[in-house]
């Protein structure tokens, strides 16, 4: 289910584009789940030692995306400086994870799927970030 229904019913007034906000939250939640699942799938691979960096990057990205989704979901008394900084950090985490998973994508389908989710999340966060003054 999309976050749009909940975000659109929030009584607080905000300068944030609620459509972009909802898209970012949805992408963040999906990326967090995908990164967590990819880390677990990496742990099940035969050559798990070759995937240590990927696992770590997956887990860091999942945590960053989860925290960012929660921060974006709170619309009361938004501090745009915190929001901007959090989005920038999350974009960096998604980029790093997407790059790392791309290195393994031809050998492991779960890494290919994860890289795609990271790229989509990075884009959604960047789209929202460009609207924050």
73 and 3 in contact (C-beta within 8 Å)?
A: yes
Q: Does a structural domain hold residue 102?
A: yes
CATH number of the CATH domain containing 80: 1.20.1270.360
Whose CA is closest to 101, among 9, 34, 7, 47?
A: 34
Number of domains in the chain: 1
**What is the rounded (10 degree) CA torsion for 43, 97, 7, 5?**
-60
Q: Does a structural domain hold residue 7?
A: no
114 and 65 in contact (C-beta within 8 Å)?
A: no
pLDDT value of residue 82 = 95
Q: Does a structural domain hold residue 8?
A: no
Q: What is the pLDDT along the chain (133 residues), one digit of tens a residue?
A: 678 777 777 767 677 888 999 999 999 999 999 999 999 999 999 999 999 999 999 999 999 999 999 999 998 888 999 999 999 999 999 999 999 999 998 999 999 999 999 999 999 999 999 999 6
pLDDT value of residue 2 = 78
Q: Which domain holds residue 74?
A: 17-129
Q: Does a structural domain hold residue 27?
A: yes
Rounded Cα distance, 32 and 86, in Å: 15
Q: Does a structural domain hold residue 1?
A: no
pLDDT value of residue 8 = 73
Q: Does a structural domain hold residue 79?
A: yes
Q: Does a structural domain hold residue 63?
A: yes
Q: Does a structural domain hold residue 114?
A: yes
pLDDT value of residue 1 = 62
Give CA separation, 11 vs 25, 76, 101, in Å: 18, 9, 40
pLDDT value of residue 11 = 67
Token look-up 């290195």 returns 103
Q: What is the CA radius of gyration of the chain?
A: 15
pLDDT value of residue 4 = 78
pLDDT value of residue 14 = 74
């Amino acid at each position: 289910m999309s976050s749009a229904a909940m975000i659109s019913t929030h009584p607080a007034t905000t300068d944030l584009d609620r459509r972009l906000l909802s898209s970012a939250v949805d992408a963040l939640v999906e990326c967090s789940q995908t990164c967590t699942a990819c880390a677990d799938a990496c742990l099940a691979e035969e050559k798990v030692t070759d995937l240590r960096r990927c696992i770590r990057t997956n887990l860091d990205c999942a945590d960053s995306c989860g925290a960012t989704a929660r921060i974006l979901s709170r619309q009361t008394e938004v501090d745009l400086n915190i929001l901007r900084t959090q989005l920038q950090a999350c974009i960096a985490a998604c980029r790093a994870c997407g790059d790392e998973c791309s290195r393994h994508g031809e050998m492991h389908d779960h890494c290919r799927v994860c890289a795609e989710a990271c790229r989509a999340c990075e884009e959604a966060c960047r789209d929202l970030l460009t609207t924050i003054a």
